[in-house]
Structure 1
Amino acid sequence: MPTERLFSTANRWFRLSVGITAALVILTALGGFILLPYAQSDLKVAGLWDAICSAAGIPKLKSSASSVQPTFKTSDVIMTSAMLANPSSESIGRGATLAQQCAICHGPTGVSRADSPNLAGQYPAVIFKQLKDFKSGARTNAVMSPFAPHLTDQDMVDLAVYYHYLPRLPAYHPTQKIPAPRIVINGAPMRGIAPCGSCHGGLDNKTGSPWLEGQSAAYMKAQLRAFADGTRRNDISQQMRNIARAMTAEEIEEAANYYASQPPDEYSAAR
């Protein structure tokens, strides 16, 4: 009696079983990847391919038209560690001339008498970025917003390198009176707060982070509160907003008073 091969297209039972299996696979795929996504009322699909990707767990790529855009102007300044390195003496000289317009708020030697930022010795990239942000509207201020739009990029460079050229206030802290607060030295790791000195230190400075020593306590507290409540939004990658929101009112007070502390004789002389 001749035997028929089991796995052969000549075997009608083999053909039937393969056909039924293929049909089940197709029906399952149609149901799982197409019918079920369309049946979910809370799932919006744009088409057949979108439904298949959704069922397969592939994240949808939103088009730029449907992406969420901020309702405020964001900073477009790109910071690098080599920004404004090795300025020319001509640029510093031009900056000295331009800075005469700034003296009423920032002082003739770059040290403010009016709780405005001290610019003497400030990192040039910091000054350049803030001026660019004031000009673009990414940062606003009643005095600086009307002033900055009249500055060219070269004017901003010249001002930045001139103020950096001036001697800055020393990093002095009367240990007996104002000990270094934990938020400055250690931060608060459990709340995602890095030590202030890790970005704003004299030896270890992150590009774009200002030199804080000798700054006005009132100015620093105002800026930290502005970052915390979102009225100032020109920080890089929201870093200062995230930190300030996690800081307590006491920590803001301690950090500002610590950085503002200066020896009375040198501080008065500089002013």
Structure 2
Amino acid sequence: MSTSVLPVASRSPEAPHVLDNAAWAALTGPHARFAERVGRAARYPLDVSPFTALADPSDPRAWDDLAALVGPGTVTPVSGATVPPAGWETVRSGHGVQLVATALHSEPAPEAVRLGPGDVPEILELVAETEPGPFLPRTVELGTYLGIRHRGRLIAMAGERLRPPGWTEISAVCTHPDHRGRGLATRLVRAVAAGIRERGDTPFLHAAASNTTAIRLYESIGFTLRRATESVRVRTPDRRQEQTAGPCRCDA
């Protein structure tokens, strides 16, 4: 990876960037129509996206709101958080990177077709084959998804996911293994970016920190590494068990 990431401490806490908490910014902004929200916590419907976000991951009240939103003893991912409060179980943690389009050449792809709800079964098959990240039955509703077909079969796709104000995330970039090496993913990324820029937004994307091949590709076509990202999958406290157990009695 050729570009360094600014330490978190170097960013001013008084002026956080909208992409520092992109899921929250999307759910309280352009994607508010999807938001299921309790106070300082919000999430997408479970058949749309797994993203769950907090207004401030350092605020214990936001975690209390999240527990109320998703319910006791529930496993949920939390974007932008690293350590949950006491009583929460960390099931898994992940490291990624966030890249922004600084020199990306965007242009339509004449061979690309718009994908919609009727294409979801094919999309899910391609996602299962290529594993670009989570894609659910209604994810296609989040924005424009474009695909390329070969002899009627969907072989490559890319689309839009998070939409913080002024920005749109490119996601679900994938190509069937039998058709890789032809630049299909790059053409689709450029085409999706063209649509994003037409409405005045700037493209960005996320990748797993371990996926150095994809990161190098994105950098080579005009994305710049902005920062490292972290996320956790947590289990909410099971208040029902606490209530069942009742107070502890210790006899002297």
TM over 0.5: no
TM-score w.r.t. the length of structure 1 is 0.24
Normalized per residue, the structure richer in strand is 2
Larger relative contact order (CA 8 Å, sep ≥ 6)? 2
TM-score w.r.t. the length of structure 2 is 0.25
